[in-house]
Chain A
């Protein structure tokens, strides 16, 4: 453990953790937008700039550059004896200005934004008291057309603050490398102002995007959103249900956002040890079958060439009887079992146990072996 203080509060920080992680883990928020747990350290938004002192030495005044840059909490690891000033009037003023810049860079509109209420830019604008109406800098009209070419992901660059979370998530988590930045800081005929592009500046649907939606999950604003969830509920209206993805044996932990008994959005649980927030296209966008009208919710038994609804007990009894008949007539080896990767390890264990002991055969296999 490393002993530090943040704003005078003594903290025992994990070794190797950054100042920001230590703060967050101890219930202190330092404003941040580009940092996201599990992604590489970027230091791009600069909101988490802090002042750090060890003894009498101010770290930000040292260094090699002829200027006194503030240290970003998200990129600096804790060191023994660090005294960190994370909040003071000067830092607040600078953070307000950064938020003001970000608000002025695009035409942000929270009215019907899907992220309204969970938007981190909105949150810090509110917390730091930056009113969009009083910006000192002109902000443009809606300049970027919304890209809704993809089946799953809507890209609205009017909300993009260039934090690079999606770029990193796509590169580091999904390893698909769809998102990139194009351009630099300036505006010029030859080089436009930096913007988020997909592939070679294509509509998202024309890229190799696998629609895992991990970019949506990390996006701090409403720049990347679930297309199918649009206008199906505001964040605060949802009931959040934590469960496990039914698709494969990885067992990703997910949080369902449910409204009117329908699953509208799915998020990976970031504290889950297996998926750490990441999901695949099936887990994130493939749970709509749950409320599909064609879905079977009761067992059907075919009688006289027609399916009839039955009770679970009745259906299971019938299955058991028929298996028993076959085993009595032809022996256990006439039967076999094929299990599914959708089941958990425990279920698969029970399945093979059942086939071996009840059927009396070793003919048991699993789809993942094929």
Chain B
């Protein structure tokens, strides 16, 4: 192997030319989206099928892989590139469809019925990406490479403009970089929204020769996978951002913290670090600037609290991840008691873009207080699940109904939860609220790291809150009394209420517990944990009252409070429900009205789903 080290801009130019050829080669190329979301939906099988078919047909086709383009709902997604002709994405590809695609591609043909959209090309009858509702209101800055390049290839990353920014940054003064980031108004994307530039400046000015740069890729929120998407899709952008940040604060050692439950992300970041080292973009004397920077991976065991920066530091130091009181802030005394900057994956992925395009370009998007874009994972009762990057200030309505496509099955929207398990639930009356830190906070929710869970009328708010508290109870690190005991006791009360054993005083007690835990907890886990409780008590108090006073679950979810019955008007005695009942609790003769034995019914809802005539009703 020759010397691959990049030393000057010309070397980068050479690499870019190579990369462009990889992205748009002179022969056909089939690319499979192989992020975790894709693999879960069968992308691996599709990938294998394509490879097999290509070799069977001896077709002149390159088979490549990429990560997630955000449209998780439509996975497995396959991109077919026909040189000089088109770049088209096919969705919900099965191995069978994949084989057919290979032969079509070999003949230079397109299968219009299976297409999702086209990129950088106009083909009649296929909408371009920008016009698909899911993408129309999105602005791809952070995720611009996700799904477009092979995340394992530094060459393709450079082809998309990568590492030119690092070369530019290393030519600037650290203070100049910090100033640029400060002026851009970038705020930490991990949840707290602290100004990134200010954090850097504090660490830069902190006393000490040894400083550390940590990338926080812990991401513990259930239903949130923005950072995973980034690490799987464009690890080099994060690494480049991290290197720039390290240069700005004067750190020579970095740690990339991520959870072991992200094996693919770990594989990608390990590869990225190794590649960057091989190309001399990490290590000693980067780009002949005299700046040294090395990155190690720190793997976490998946505790939610490890996303909290002081707990994360403890975890990197191989101590139990218990948060410590601040001050001192990590920027003054962090890892091994040295000044340490911890930035979230998405924050770091923003850095190269800001340095490249300037602070004004970045701050031209967003609201007064919150600039730029934010990646959200849009999940729950919504048509288009996926990772979406939107400009700050977009309304929740646009996110749920325009990008998300609304609620499937025509059900009525109920609330959207912003900010992961410790976010607040925002009801329909506030759905026109613009998304930024201040507006969400005013409603009792948080931006968090960007989890957005949509619920519809079939969701019981008490039950949902209980679900989050079950998670938070388990994940509370146990160090401080309000969080450890408060969440547990609130969970017990919620459990009682959903069982129909609620007492009149419970709402008052829950209210008091929620506010105390919020105000008195040691870290942000306890400080935000009560949000779902506080917001549901505020916006959906009637549901609590129905559970407690009337022993009734309006959404028909809480098993102890509902009964399944058969509507004799609608039942035609088809026996389907009888076959669906795991308990044998439904009886009835064929063609005669069936009935459910309430003693035997375990309220699984199987009959409700099975009945095609809406004859099973929930009371």
Contacts and interface: CB of A to CB of B under 8 A. Distances in A.
Interface string B186-221: 000001111000000000000000000000000000
Given A102-B481, A187-B488, A97 B512 contact: yes
Most buried by B among A93, A102, A181, A184: A184
Contacts of A137: 489, 492
Interface string A83-107: 0000000000110011001101100
B320 interface: yes
A101 B513 CA distance: 10
Given A65-B192, A137-B492, A184-B474, 19 more contacts: A42-B479, A45-B481, A46-B480, A46-B521, A46-B522, A49-B519, A65-B524, A66-B528, A67-B527, A68-B518, A68-B519, A76-B325, A77-B327, A97-B513, A97-B516, A104-B489, A184-B476, A185-B475, A193-B478
A138 interface: yes
B480 A184 contact: no
Nearest to B305: A184
Query: Chain A contact residues (Cβ within 8 angstroms of B): what range?
Result: 35 or more
Contacts of A159: none
B323 to A, nearest CB: 9
B542 interface: no
B462 interface: no
B610 interface: no
B489 A101 contact: yes
Interface in A40-62: 41-47, 49
Interface in B35-86: none
Most buried by A among B441, B473, B480, B512: B480
Contacts of B446: 66
Nearest to B528: A67
Contacts of B520: 46, 49, 69-70, 94, 98
B477 interface: yes
Contacts of A193: 478, 488
B325 A101 contact: no
A186 B488 contact: yes
Most buried by A among B192, B193, B479, B505: B479
A44 B512 contact: no
Contacts of B487: 185
Most buried by A among B488, B505, B528: B488
B19 interface: no
B349 interface: no
A183 interface: yes
Interface residues of B, number: 45
Nearest to B479: A44
A43 B522 CA distance: 7
A21 B194 CA distance: 31
A105 B485 contact: yes
A153 interface: no
A183 B322 CA distance: 12
Contacts of A72: 325, 522
Nearest to B505: A136
A4 B483 CA distance: 30
B485 A46 contact: no
Contacts of B519: 49, 67-70, 94
A178 interface: no
Dominant SS at the B interface? helix
Interface in B292-313: 303, 305
A96 to B, nearest CB: 9
Contacts of A93: 512, 516
B193 A64 contact: yes
Nearest to B188: A64
B437 interface: yes
B303 A184 contact: yes
B528 A46 contact: no
Contact of B473 (A41, A101, A138, A185): A185
Interface string A173-209: 0000000010111111001011000000000000000
Contact of A66 (B437, B482, B522): B437
B518 A67 contact: yes
Nearest to B484: A185
A68 B516 CA distance: 11
Given A66-B446, A137-B489, A186 B474 contact: yes
B528 A44 contact: no
A137 B516 CA distance: 15
Contacts of B481: 44-47, 98, 101-102, 161-162
Contacts of B191: 66
Contacts of A185: 473-478, 483-484, 487-488
Interface in B464-515: 473-489, 492, 505, 509, 512-513
Interface string B517-560: 01111101001100000000000000000000000000000000
B478 to A, nearest CB: 3
B505 to A, nearest CB: 7
B425 to A, nearest CB: 16
Interface in A282-329: none
Interface in B379-419: none
Contacts of B482: 46, 98, 101
A69 B476 contact: no
B521 A69 contact: yes
Interface string B421-461: 00000000000000001000100001100000000000000
B194 A64 contact: yes
B29 to A, nearest CB: 45
Contacts of A67: 518-519, 524, 527-528
19 contacts: A44-B480, A46-B482, A64-B192, A66-B191, A66-B528, A69-B520, A72-B325, A94-B516, A94-B519, A97-B513, A98-B516, A101-B485, A138-B492, A162-B478, A183-B478, A184-B477, A185-B483, A187-B488, A194-B484
Interface in A18-47: 41-47
Given A44-B522, A187-B473, A193-B478, A66 B441 contact: yes
Pairs of residues from A and B, 8 with the lowest C-beta to C-beta distance, nearest first? A185-B476, A186-B474, A194-B478, A101-B485, A43-B325, A75-B325, A67-B527, A64-B194
Most buried by B among A66, A72, A105: A66
Contact of A186 (B193, B324, B441, B473): B473
Contact of B527 (A69, A77, A104, A187): A69
